[in-house]
Amino acid sequence: MDSMDREVLSNALRWLESGNRVLLVTVVSTWGSSPRPEGSMLAIRGDGRAAGSVSGGCIEDDLIERVRREGIPQGRPQLLSYGISADEAHRFGLPCGGTVRLVLEPLLTADVIAGFVDAMQEGRIFSRRLDMATGEVEILAVDSDEGLRFDGQALRTVHGPRYRMLLIGAGDLSRYVATIAVGLGYDVTICDPRAEYTDEWNVPNTRVMRTMPDDTVTGMRPDSRTAIIALTHDPKLDDLALMEALKTPAFYIGAIGSRRNNTARRERLALFGVSTEEMRALHGPVGLYIGSRTPAEIAISILAEVTACKNKVHVVRAVDVEVGKASVALAISDRLE
């Protein structure tokens, strides 16, 4: 669950406990271009206050005005579509051909969402099933992340704790990576046993661990919502973290360094018993090739690749590097002619 979803649900529960009625809006399907993905949520209080987002803003405005004018509907959930006609797509700021379908779920008492928020705070991955005919809600345990399911009769969404990111090294690059990752909603931990680095760490909303990297990885118990990135350039620290990380189901494991250094790293890890199968999970050199040179640009390339893995987008890295470097060389050649 990303940080925005947590905020939406926490606000909804707080409003309900204060005696307000709330409308929970969930994106259940999109066609064409859409500003927000399936599963995005918006909570609207009876007086029009809102938290969350289901579009670029215009759909939210329309829903808020509807609540203010008509109140929060009673009874069973409703299905609502925007952007079917060209005029409507233009009115609500949707790209040409874009369509968004929403489920509008009236929340009349805190009971309907309290268990939902409790499960979220306990760090469990779980599924919430909404019966469209009755409005009844079930919270079900699940083994892993699944996508949203909606068949017209029931809406099933899967939620869990925030995505976590462990950065090995508290250097300059880690500062930029951590700052961007916090903005993306990650719960960020920095691990570096070197006091000369950790004593100067000052990135807000992050925590610092001064333990050895392998102990830190083991203690965090990485799961499928965890990214682990080694950024020290020191094999004694990076390799320790990677040896443990590659035994876990972390969705992203990467290490900084050139392609030559990456080859040498893989050889070292193999000597320490890391299997060929485990090694396939290692991204190295870390990040997408975008011609980055500064720490800030490198951080963007790293988070771009992490985001692609999180969203299950396959990136052909080897081809990208060669094509990217060739384009840079061509541009330099053109300027010199």
Task: Assess if residue 336 is contained within a domain.
Answer: no
Any idea what the CATH number is for the domain that residue 308 is in? 3.40.50.720
If asked whether residues 96 and 232 sit together in one domain, one would say no
CA angle 244, 119, 134 (to 5 degrees): 135
Q: Which of 114, 139, 159 is the last residue of a domain?
A: 159
What domain range is 304 assigned to? 164-322
Query: Is residue 183 included in any domain, yes or no?
Result: yes
User: What are the pLDDT digits (tens) for 59-108?
Assistant: 898 999 999 999 998 889 999 988 755 565 556 555 555 688 999 999 87
Q: What is the pLDDT of residue 97?
A: 52
Q: Count of domains in the chain?
A: 2
Model-wide pTM > 0.75: no
Contact by Cβ (8 Å): 25, 107: no
User: What pLDDT sits at residue 56?
Assistant: 67
- Which stretches of the chain drop beneath a pLDDT of 70? 1-4, 32-35, 56, 84-98, 120-123, 143-146, 316-337
Q: Please tell me the distance from the alpha carbon of residue 87 to that of residue 91, in angstroms, as a whole number.
A: 6
Residues 146 and 175 in one domain: no
Q: Are 120 and 54 in contact (CB under 8 A)?
A: no
| Residue 87 confidence (pLDDT) | 61
Judge if 266 and 253 occupy the same domain.
yes
Asked if residue 207 is part of any domain, the answer here is: yes
- Reduced 3-state DSSP string for the chain: CCHHHHHHHHHHHHHHHCCCCEEEEEEEEEECCCCCCCCCEEEEECCCCEEECCCCCHHHHHHHHHHHHHCCCCCCCEEEEECCCHHHHHHCCCCCCCEEEEEEEEECCCHHHHHHHHHHHCCCCEEEEEECCCCCEEEEECCCCCCCEECCCEEEEEECCCCEEEEECCCHHHHHHHHHHHHCCCEEEEECCCHHHHCCCCCCCEEEECCCHHHHHHHHCCCCCEEEEECCCCHHHHHHHHHHHCCCCCCEEEECCCHHHHHHHHHHHHHCCCCHHHHCCEECCCCCCCCCCCHHHHHHHHHHHHHHHHCCCCCCHHHHHHHHHHHHHHHHHHHHC
Residues 209 and 275 in one domain: yes
- pLDDT of 93 reads 57
36 plus 138 within the same structural domain: yes
- Scored b (16 or more CB within 10 A) or e, 70-84 reads eebeeeebeeeebbe
Please report the pLDDT score of residue 55 as a whole number. 80
Residue 185 lies in a domain: yes
